[in-house]
């Protein structure tokens, strides 16, 4: 019953999104704003319907309703309850339903942001949003229907892929999808501006909170995904330049550029056409990411079912929206009024440089990700583009970008004074240099690139501190006054400083990995292995069972200078239903660093093969990203933006009107 | 500066950055790209020893020999030709005889490959796409379950 209701609601949402898409456009041609306003209840209705459909699927998972194909293929009655719930989006159909749920949620939020967005712009934005929602609802409905029944229903399900049975999965896809889908709002605003033929600071102010929200969630989603891959896959790495990771990095890079160019537009009424282009580009890359992951064209950690109709359908969506977006841009952008002027040495100039470098970095990732696909399609040759390629292309572009951050942060708008700015940052340069030298002295050498990274990281942290210090009038007023002024600075200023400091922390974490160690050993009970300043002793190897898997556990005692610090367990699991083995890494967090143990196979001689990593300051990699996101959130609560925030963002949507 | 000059400065800067990026990409393309071969390709194309490449196929039945200190020797086959692979390190969870595998490393001599990483997919029925394609190309592909790569997750091991 619930299932049919869910399916019905989904179909209803498809119809409502079509109304949301077409009515404002029709209204625009006959100039009838009242007619366009139908988009508002349509958007709210579509969200309510998709929520109902999602609830129905969740109910089926929670009650292990094995009359549903989707539940049979991805669930099991013995699976822990929490994974029954997260399993809803641990498969293709369910994850697309989550995608659409978030899409319609954003649509409903735009519909309700009555105070912030002029009504004409809002209705046109809803129309574009409705078109995207319609396309994806049709995709779910016709190629990925999660509500297909199975008759006769089996007694038991096939269980969820064990590596997806993890709390990381509960958090990673929703965060990532909120990021991807959030950029659809920037895209919809951009197309609406093109249709309307008008773009100004009001537009920029209306769109910035959405871009910022999407960016915050995408940042968290990528960081979460990276940490999940790190501890769940047991390879000890946190970024593999895997096509699917790149698929989420590309919209992040473009979205970061968009975030910064919107600021220029809001403050200085410049870079208008470029901002529109970036908004289209960012969502295009989000769509590309969805296509790469969902169509199965890639061999990757994340490749789900391969189904040609799905691939073709998403490709069609991709072509229509990217092609349509750029065509509209080519046609209407020349009609937009030119933006303001600025000198190259200025905050605007620095932000242009930021945009240029970010987009170029994005382009190198794009080439590295898609070139193998293109080459295979054209010549049949199969190649793999991996870490060395990205190290040789992405890093040389990322480094000057990082070096620019503190300068862009402190230089004045309109006409800046480069020499003065550099002088003001002397403390940051000194701190960076000192940081690199201290590390050099402590570890007695190390790769140049890593030392450069340490220097850059410290410089970024110090640069943010200098920025706040100067904004608060440091050096010119008494310390007490300065502190009061610092506390009174706009939250967006603090947000910027914190986000940029977060970048610094991530850079430090990445650079520190140059000093990580990896030991491959065969151990017997009582054997000692050194990792960093610690020693691991194998105490026991024993079997253990849980309700849906059994495992062989190796327990280590961790010692430092002969003192026992704690124990660490790594295991090899077999998930009973699928008979699938997984490796569960044993991880011990010691301050910001980690010991990481991955088990191999028992050796013919009786020992156990293990791989033991010492990962100094590895936590910084993710901590920095979380701090970046926090900076974004803080900026989002700035009063200037809060006015623009959606009126009823808190949810509990009642069908209005 | 006039509007025109400013625009020219901007365009020049953009071109400079893009030019540098293009140079980096082309440079990296030359050195950092690894080609995929099946054992038959490897022989047919007479790849010079010392080349870094990816070799994929099935792990030949009865070929896995585990030595001391995590040394492993196995044969990768496409049922037509097979190549001996030496590897030191942890093998992925789903590494088994008869299963698909992709290894990356250096060809030491004809017929001997020194792998520094071994990849296998994290699913019982999975076969790496390159392997499936090369088996298909030789008409050895059997339908029935094997394409059914239900869901994801590769596991890999590297030195």
Q: How far apart are CA B114 and CA B108, in angstroms?
A: 6
Span A308-328, pLDDT tens digits: 678 788 889 999 999 999 999
CB-based contact A210:A182 (threshold 8 Å): yes
Span A191-234, pLDDT tens digits: 999 998 888 888 998 999 999 999 999 999 999 989 988 888 77
Distance to chain A for B59, nearest Cα, Å: 17
CB-based contact A168:A228 (threshold 8 Å): yes
Hey, is the C-beta of A294 within 8 angstroms of any chain B C-beta? no
Residue B138 is predicted with a pLDDT of 62
Choosing among 1.20.120, 3.30.70, 3.40.50, 2.60.120, the CATH entry for A166-339+350-386 is 1.20.120
Residue A617 pLDDT class (50, 70, 90 cuts) = very high
Which stretch of A100-114, A260-274, A487-501, B129-143 has the lowest confidence by average pLDDT? B129-143
Residue A606 is predicted with a pLDDT of 75
Chain center to CA of A604: 44
Q: For chain B, which residues make up each domain, given as ranges?
A: 1-33, 35-158
Give the max Cα distance, chain A. 83
Task: Report CB contact under 8 Å: B1, A343.
Answer: yes
Residue B96 is predicted with a pLDDT of 80
CB-based contact A579:A606 (threshold 8 Å): no
Span A73-124, pLDDT tens digits: 888 888 888 889 888 988 889 999 999 999 999 999 999 988 778 889 999 9
Span A581-614, pLDDT tens digits: 888 889 999 999 999 998 887 777 778 888 899 9
CB-based contact A232:A168 (threshold 8 Å): yes
Q: How far apart are CA A617 and CA A607, in angstroms?
A: 31
Residue A298 pLDDT class (50, 70, 90 cuts) = low
pLDDT beyond 80 at A636:
yes
pLDDT beyond 60 at A532:
yes
| Alpha-helical regions (H) of A296-339 | 308-318, 324-332
DSSP letters along B102-127, please?
Answer: EEEEEEEETTEEEEEEEEEESSTT--
> Is B37 annotated as ligand-binding?
no
Chain center to CA of A95: 16
A480 Cβ contact partners less than 8 Å away, ≥ 6 residues apart? none
Both tokens of A71, joined, read 């539940």
CB-based contact A281:A190 (threshold 8 Å): no
> Is B87 annotated as ligand-binding?
no
Hey, is the C-beta of A40 within 8 angstroms of any chain B C-beta? no
Task: Find the angle CA(A77)-CA(A81)-CA(A87) to the nearest 5 degrees.
Answer: 80
Q: How far apart are CA A622 and CA A171, in angstroms?
A: 15
Task: Report CB contact under 8 Å: B31, A605.
Answer: no
Alpha-carbon distances, residue A634 vs A189, A326, A340, A480, A489 (angstroms) = 23, 33, 29, 24, 12
Both tokens of B35, joined, read 């080609």
Q: How far apart are CA A253 and CA A245, in angstroms?
A: 12
Task: Report CB contact under 8 Å: A520, B159.
Answer: yes
Residue A364 is predicted with a pLDDT of 94
SS3 of residue A382 by DSSP: coil
Residue A564 pLDDT class (50, 70, 90 cuts) = very high
Nearest chain A alpha carbon to B18: A360
Residue A73 CB-half CA count within 13 A: 21
- Rounded-to-10 torsion of CA A504, A505, A510, A516: 140
Residue B1 is predicted with a pLDDT of 61
Hey, is the C-beta of A567 within 8 angstroms of any chain B C-beta? no
Task: Report CB contact under 8 Å: A520, B70.
Answer: yes
Hey, is the C-beta of A51 within 8 angstroms of any chain B C-beta? no
Q: How far apart are CA A624 and CA A367, in angstroms?
A: 27
SS3 of residue B51 by DSSP: coil
Distance to chain B for A590, nearest Cα, Å: 25
Residue B51 is predicted with a pLDDT of 82
Nearest chain B alpha carbon to A297: B129
Q: Reading across the β-sheet that carries A534-545, which strands appear in turn?
A: A528-531, A534-545, A549-560, A563-575, A580-584
Q: Which residues of A610-639 are buried (b: 16+ CB within 10 A; e: fewer)?
A: bbbbbbbbbbbbbbbbbbbbbbbbbbbebe
pLDDT beyond 50 at B152:
no
Both tokens of A107, joined, read 């649509």
Is 2.70.210.12 the CATH classification of the domain at B35-158?
Answer: no
Q: How far apart are CA B39 and CA B74, in angstroms?
A: 13
pLDDT beyond 70 at A302:
no
Hey, is the C-beta of A393 within 8 angstroms of any chain B C-beta? yes
Instruction: Give A 199-238 residues with CB within 8 A of chain B.
Output: 233-235
B112-121 and A549-560 strand pairing: unpaired
Q: How far apart are CA A23 and CA A44, in angstroms?
A: 15
Q: What is the ipTM of this complex?
A: 0.74
- Label residue B9 exposed, middle or buried (CB < 10 Å: 0-12, 13-18, 19+): middle
Alpha-carbon distances, residue A585 vs A229, A568, A597 (angstroms) = 11, 10, 6
Nearest chain B alpha carbon to A73: B150
Span A336-391, pLDDT tens digits: 876 667 777 889 889 999 999 999 999 999 999 988 888 877 887 778 888 889 99
pTM for the structure as a whole = 0.89
Distance to chain B for A307, nearest Cα, Å: 10
Span A135-184, pLDDT tens digits: 999 999 998 899 999 888 888 888 877 777 878 778 888 999 999 999 99
Residue A134 is predicted with a pLDDT of 97
Residue A237 is predicted with a pLDDT of 84
Residue A170 is predicted with a pLDDT of 80
* A526 membership: H or E segment, kind and range: none
pLDDT beyond 60 at A186:
yes
Residue B150 is predicted with a pLDDT of 32
Q: Read off φ and ψ for residue B56, nearest 5 degrees.
A: -135, 155
């Amino acid at each position: 019953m619930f299932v049919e209701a869910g399916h019905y609601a989904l179909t209803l949402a498809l119809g409502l999104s079509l109304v949301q898409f077409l009515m404002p456009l029709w209204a625009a041609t006959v100039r009838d704003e009242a007619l366009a306003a139908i988009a508002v209840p349509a958007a709210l209705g579509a969200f309510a319907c998709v929520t109902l459909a999602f609830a129905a699927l969740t109910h089926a998972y929670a009650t292990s309703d094995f009359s549903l194909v989707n539940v049979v293929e991805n669930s099991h009655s013995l699976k822990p309850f929490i994974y029954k719930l997260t399993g809803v989006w641990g498969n293709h159909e369910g994850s697309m339903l989550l995608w659409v749920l978030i899409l319609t949620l954003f649509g409903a939020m735009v519909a309700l942001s009555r105070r912030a967005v002029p009504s004409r712009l809002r209705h046109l934005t809803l129309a574009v949003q409705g078109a995207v929602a319609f396309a994806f609802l049709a995709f779910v409905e016709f190629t990925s229907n999660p509500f297909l029944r199975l008759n006769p229903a089996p007694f038991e399900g096939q269980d969820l892929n064990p590596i997806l049975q993890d709390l990381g999965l509960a958090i990673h896809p929703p965060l990532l999808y909120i990021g991807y889908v959030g950029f659809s709002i920037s895209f919809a605003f951009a197309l609406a501006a093109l249709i309307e033929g008008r773009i100004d600071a009001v537009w920029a102010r209306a769109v910035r909170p959405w871009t910022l929200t999407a960016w915050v969630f995408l940042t968290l989603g990528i960081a979460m995904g990276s940490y999940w891959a790190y501890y769940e896959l047991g390879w000890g790495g946190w970024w593999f330049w895997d096509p699917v990771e790149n698929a989420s990095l590309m919209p992040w890079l473009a979205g970061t550029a968009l975030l910064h160019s919107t600021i220029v537009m809001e403050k200085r009424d410049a870079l208008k056409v470029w901002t529109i282009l970036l908004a289209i580009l960012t969502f295009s890359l989000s769509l590309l990411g969805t296509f790469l992951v969902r169509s199965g064209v890639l061999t990757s950690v994340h490749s789900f079912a391969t189904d040609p109709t799905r691939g073709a359908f998403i490709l069609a969506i991709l072509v229509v929206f990217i092609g349509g977006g750029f065509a509209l841009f080519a046609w209407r952008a020349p009609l937009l009024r030119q933006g303001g002027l600025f000198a190259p040495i200025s905050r605007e100039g620095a932000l242009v440089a930021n945009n240029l470098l970010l987009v170029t970095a994005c382009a190198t990732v794009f080439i590295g990700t898609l070139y193998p696909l293109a080459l295979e399609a054209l010549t049949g040759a199969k190649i793999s583009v991996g870490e060395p390629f990205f190290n040789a292309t992405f890093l040389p572009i990322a480094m000057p970008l990082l070096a620019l951050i503190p300068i862009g942060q402190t230089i004045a708008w309109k006409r800046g004074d480069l020499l003065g700015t550099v002088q003001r940052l002397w403390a940051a340069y000194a701190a960076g240099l000192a940081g690199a030298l201290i590390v050099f002295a402590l570890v007695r050498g190390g790769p140049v690139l890593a030392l450069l990274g340490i220097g850059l990281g410290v410089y970024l942290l110090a640069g943010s501190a200098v920025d706040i210090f100067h904004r608060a009038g440091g050096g010119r007023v008494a310390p007490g006054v300065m502190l009061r002024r610092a506390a009174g600075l706009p939250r967006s200023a603090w947000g910027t400083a914190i986000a940029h400091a977060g970048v610094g922390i991530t850079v430090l974490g990445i650079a520190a990995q140059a000093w990580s160690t990896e030991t491959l050993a065969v151990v017997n009970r009582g054997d000692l292995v050194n990792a960093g300043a610690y020693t691991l002793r194998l105490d026991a190897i024993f079997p253990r069972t849980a309700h849906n898997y059994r495992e062989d556990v190796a327990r280590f005692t961790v010692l430092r200078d002969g003192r026992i610090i704690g124990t660490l367990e790594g295991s090899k699991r077999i998930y009973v239903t699928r008979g699938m083995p997984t490796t569960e890494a044993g991880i011990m967090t010691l301050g910001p660093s980690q010991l990481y143990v991955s088990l191999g196979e028992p050796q013919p001689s009786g020992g156990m093969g293990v791989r033991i990593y010492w990962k100094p300051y590895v936590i910084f990699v993710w901590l920095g990203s979380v701090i970046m996101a926090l900076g974004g959130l803080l900026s989002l609560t700035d009063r200037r933006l809060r006015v623009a925030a959606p009126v009823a963002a808190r949810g509990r949507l009642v069908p209005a009107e | 500066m006039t509007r025109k000059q400013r625009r020219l400065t901007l365009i020049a800067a953009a071109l400079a950055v893009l030019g540098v990026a293009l140079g980096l990409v082309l440079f990296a393309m030359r050195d950092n790209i690894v080609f995929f071969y099946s054992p038959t390709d490897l022989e047919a194309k007479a790849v010079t020893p010392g080349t870094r490449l990816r070799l994929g196929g099935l792990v030949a039945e009865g070929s896995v020999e585990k030595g001391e200190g995590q040394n492993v020797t196995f044969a990768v086959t496409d049922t037509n030709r097979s190549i001996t692979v030496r590897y030191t390190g942890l093998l992925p969870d789903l590494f088994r005889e008869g299963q698909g595998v992709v290894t990356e490393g250096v060809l030491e001599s004809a017929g001997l490959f020194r792998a520094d990483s071994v990849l296998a997919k994290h699913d019982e029925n999975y076969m790496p796409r390159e392997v499936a394609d090369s088996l298909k190309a030789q008409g050895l592909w059997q339908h029935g379950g094997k394409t059914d790569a239900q869901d994801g997750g590769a596991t890999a091991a590297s030195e």
